[in-house]
Amino acid sequence: MAELKYDKKTGRLLFTKQMKREGYRILMPNMAPIHFRILRSVFESFGYNCELLETTGPEIAQTGLKYVHNDTCYPALLVIGQFIHALQSGKYDVHKTALMMTQTGGGCRASNYIHLLRKALKKAGFPFVPVISLSFGMEKNSGFSLTLPLVRRFVGGLVYGDQLMLLSNQTKPYEVNKGETMALVERWSDKISKQLIDGKGYSLEEIDANLHQLTKDFSKIPLNRVPKVKVGVVGEIYVKYSKMANNGLEDFLAEQDCEVCLPGLMGFASFKVDNRIEDYKMFGGNRLKYEFCKKLLNYVTSLETLMVESAERFHFVPPHQYAHTKELVKGVIGYGSKMGEGWLLTAEMLELAEMGYENIVCTQPFGCLPNHINGKGAIRKIKEVKPNANIVTIDYDPGAPKVNQENRIKLMLAVGREELKKREEAQANAVEPERIVVE
C-alpha cells in the first residue's frame, strides 16, 4: 500500500506517484454525462484509473447534509455527498481510492468545495483518501499534473462534448425514429473515447475531420420539423448540467415537448481564461501570464470556429462564438464580474434570446452569491435589451420540491407557447395576402 505523504506547509494529504502507479481508482463526479465520459478517456490515456460516479437518489443529498454545513451551496452538498456515499458503499477499496474535484480559484464559494470535501472526509472517517484538485496550480500533487498535452486533449474533449450536446439537442425532439439520436451520441462518444485513449483525435486537423463527420451523421437523422417551444438553460454550472441537481430538468422539458439548448462548456473555459486577460487590463499584473492566456484563448477560439463551421455546413443552429457572446453583454454587466459564472451567465441569456431560444430557465443553487448579481440581478436589464426574453429563475436545494419548480417552469412555457402560437398565426397571415396578390 502506498505511503501517505503530506504537504509540508499545509499538511494536506498528497496524491503521490506511487498511488498512481498502484492504480488508485480516482472517482470523479459526473456533472455533464456526454462531456465527462469523453474527459474520463482523456485521463485514462494518461494512465489515470478514473471512474465517473453514476449514483443518484435521495441518500446522496442526505449524506451531503450529514457531512457538510447545510447552508453550503447545493452542488457542494451533492458532490461531497456522492463521494462519501460511494466510499461508504463498500464498492471500493477505500485505501486505494482518490477523489478528484475541480477548483477554479475564483472569489466564489466553489473554490472552497475541495476543502469542505476534506473536512467531510475527516468527519466521515476517511482522512486517508487523497483529493486531487483539478485546477491550474492551486494545489500540487506529485502523482497528478495538468501537463500541456493533457490540457490539450482535455480541451479537445470539451469540443466533442459540446458538439454532441448541441446537435443531439437539435435533433432529438424531432427525430422520426425514437432513440436514434441518443444511439448516435453513444456511437460517437465511443469512437472519440477510443481515439483519445489511443492518443489520437485531438489535433486541430483531427478535430476538424471528426467534427465534420460527426455533424454530417447527425444531419442524416430523419426529422419531423414541427414547431416547438425553444428553451434555453443557463445557470450555475453544476446545477445547469447535472440531472441529479436540477431534478432532471432536460427530461422534463422534453416531456413538455420543447427543444432545449444548453450553452456549452467551451464558453465557460474561454471565460475562465479570459478573466485573467481582463484582470490584467483592468488592474495591471504579470505581462507574461497575460500573453500566455491570450495565446490559450486564441487556441480555444480556433477550435470554436471549427465547431461553428461544421454546424453551419449542415444547417444546424451554431453556437455563438465566445467573442460575440462577450460583445452582447457590453453595457449590461462589466467584464470584471468574474466570480462563479460571472458575466457569462448574463451573456448566455442574451445569446440564447438572440438565437431564438428566448424562453430561458435560469438555474441556481439556493442562495448562490454570483447569481444575485449575474442571474436574478441582471434579468431586468436583459428584458430591456431583449424584450422577447421570457425568463424564469429556479432555485435548487435539497428540500426544494420538484412540483413547485415544475409549476414555475410550466408558467414560463405557457407564455412561450402563446408566443409561438402568435408567431405561427402571424406567419400564416403573412402568407395568405401574398397568395391573393399572386392570384
Partner 1 sequence: MKVGLDIGSTTIKCVVLNDENKLIYSTYERHLSQITDKIAEILNRVRGEIEGVENAPIALSGSAGMGVAQDCGIDFVQEVYATRVAANTFIPGTDVVIELGGEDAKILFLTNGLEVRMNGTCAGGTGAFIDQMATLLNVPLEEMDDLAKQYEKTYTIASRCGVFAKTDIQPLLNQGARKSDIAESIFNAVVSQTVAGLAQGREIEGQVVYLGGPLTFMSELRRCFDRTLNTEGICPENSLYYVAAGAALCAEQTIDYDAVIEKVKNYRGSGNFAFNKPLFENESEYEAFVARHSRANVTQKELAGYDGKAYIGMDAGSTTVKGVVLNEFGELLYSKYLPSKGNPVEIIKSFLEEIYAINPYLYVAASAVTGYGEDIIKNAFDVDYGVVETIAHFTAAKFFMPDVEFIIDIGGQDIKCFKIHNGAIDNIFLNEACSSGCGSFLQTFANALGYEIEAFSKLGLFARRPVDLGSRCTVFMNSSVKQAQKDGATIEDISAGLSLSVVKNALYKVIRASGPDELGKRIVVQGGTFLNNAVLRAFEMEMGTHVVRPNIAGLMGAYGAALYARRKYKGKGRSKIANEEALRHFVHDIKVTNCGLCNNNCRLTVNSFGGGRRFIAGNRCERPITKKAPSSDLNIYEYKRTLINSYKPVEGLRGKLGIPLGLNMYELYPFWYRFFTELKFEVVHSPVSSRKLYLRGQQTIPSDTVCFPAKLMHGHVQTLIDSGIENIFYPCLSYNFDEHLGDNHYNCPVVAYYPEVIKNNMKDVRKINFIKEYFGIHRPKDFPKKAYERLSFYFPDLTLNEVRVAAKKAYEEYDAYMEKVRRKGDEIIARAEKEGRKIFVLAGRPYHIDPEINHGIDKLIAGFDVAIISEDVVSPRVTPFVTHVLNQWTYHSRLYAAAKYITTRKDMELVQLVSFGCGVDAITTDEVREILESENKIYTQIKIDEITNLGAVKIRIRSLLAAIDND
Which residues in 362-391 contact partner 1 (CB under 8 A)?
366-374, 376-381, 383, 387
Contacts of 312 (CB under 8 A, 6+ apart): 318
**φ/ψ of residue 392, rounded to 5:** -125, 135
Instruction: Please identify which residue in 183, 323, 411, 426 interacts with partner 1, judged by CB under 8 A.
Output: 411
What would the grid cell of residue 134 be? 483539478
Distances (CA, A) of 72 to 168, 241, 351: 34, 19, 30
Give the Cα separation of 36 and 40 in Å (integer): 6
For the bound state, the minimum distance from the C-beta of residue 94 to partner 1, rounded and expressed in Å, comes to: 18
119 forms part of the interface with partner 1 (CB under 8 A): yes
For the bound state, the minimum distance from the C-beta of residue 374 to partner 1, rounded and expressed in Å, comes to: 8
Contact segment (CB under 8 A) with partner 1 among 29-37, 223-231, 291-299, 401-409 equals 401-409
* Alpha-helical runs (H) found in 260-401: 265-283, 287-313, 322-328, 342-355, 369-374, 379-385
Instruction: Please identify which residue in 38, 53, 116, 262 interacts with partner 1, judged by CB under 8 A.
Output: 116
137 forms part of the interface with partner 1 (CB under 8 A): no
For the bound state, the minimum distance from the C-beta of residue 249 to partner 1, rounded and expressed in Å, comes to: 15
For the bound state, the minimum distance from the C-beta of residue 131 to partner 1, rounded and expressed in Å, comes to: 13
For the bound state, the minimum distance from the C-beta of residue 317 to partner 1, rounded and expressed in Å, comes to: 26
Label residue 4 exposed, middle or buried (CB < 10 Å: 0-12, 13-18, 19+). middle
For the bound state, the minimum distance from the C-beta of residue 129 to partner 1, rounded and expressed in Å, comes to: 16
For the bound state, the minimum distance from the C-beta of residue 1 to partner 1, rounded and expressed in Å, comes to: 25
Distances (CA, A) of 13 to 5, 16, 77, 142, 331: 6, 9, 22, 11, 45
Distances (CA, A) of 332 to 264, 388, 391: 22, 16, 16
What would the grid cell of residue 213 be? 463527420
- The C-alpha cell 408567431 sits at 423
Instruction: Identify the CA nearest to 180 among candidates 191, 192, 167.
Output: 167
- CB nearer to partner 1: pick between 47 and 58: 58
- Interaction mask 304-333, partner 1, x per CB under 8 A: ----------------------------xx
Can you say whether the dihedral through the CA atoms of 330, 333, 337, 341 is positive or negative?
negative
398 forms part of the interface with partner 1 (CB under 8 A): yes
400 forms part of the interface with partner 1 (CB under 8 A): yes
Contact segment (CB under 8 A) with partner 1 among 7-15, 144-152, 311-319, 320-328 equals 7-15
Give the binding-site size for partner 1 (rule: CB under 8 A).
77
- Beta-strand ranges (E) seen in 268-402 are 359-365, 390-396
Contact segment (CB under 8 A) with partner 1 among 93-101, 112-120, 190-198, 308-316 equals 112-120
- Interaction mask 71-100, partner 1, x per CB under 8 A: xxx---------------------------
- CB nearer to partner 1: pick between 57 and 179: 57
Give the Cα separation of 320 and 325 in Å (integer): 6
Contacts of 36 (CB under 8 A, 6+ apart): 28, 30, 52, 161
397 forms part of the interface with partner 1 (CB under 8 A): yes
Give the Cα separation of 332 and 379 in Å (integer): 10
408 forms part of the interface with partner 1 (CB under 8 A): yes
For the bound state, the minimum distance from the C-beta of residue 71 to partner 1, rounded and expressed in Å, comes to: 4
Instruction: Please identify which residue in 108, 196, 229, 266 interacts with partner 1, judged by CB under 8 A.
Output: 108
Give the Cα separation of 139 and 155 in Å (integer): 20
Instruction: Please identify which residue in 52, 182, 336, 354 interacts with partner 1, judged by CB under 8 A.
Output: 336
Contact segment (CB under 8 A) with partner 1 among 119-127, 166-174, 217-225, 239-247 equals 119-127
410 forms part of the interface with partner 1 (CB under 8 A): yes
What would the grid cell of residue 385 be? 435589451
Distances (CA, A) of 107 to 26, 165, 272, 335: 27, 29, 12, 15
Task: Determine the 3-state secondary structure of 338 from DSSP.
Answer: coil
401 forms part of the interface with partner 1 (CB under 8 A): yes
Near partner 1 in 13-72, by CB under 8 A:
57-58, 61-62, 65-67, 69-72
- CB nearer to partner 1: pick between 57 and 149: 57
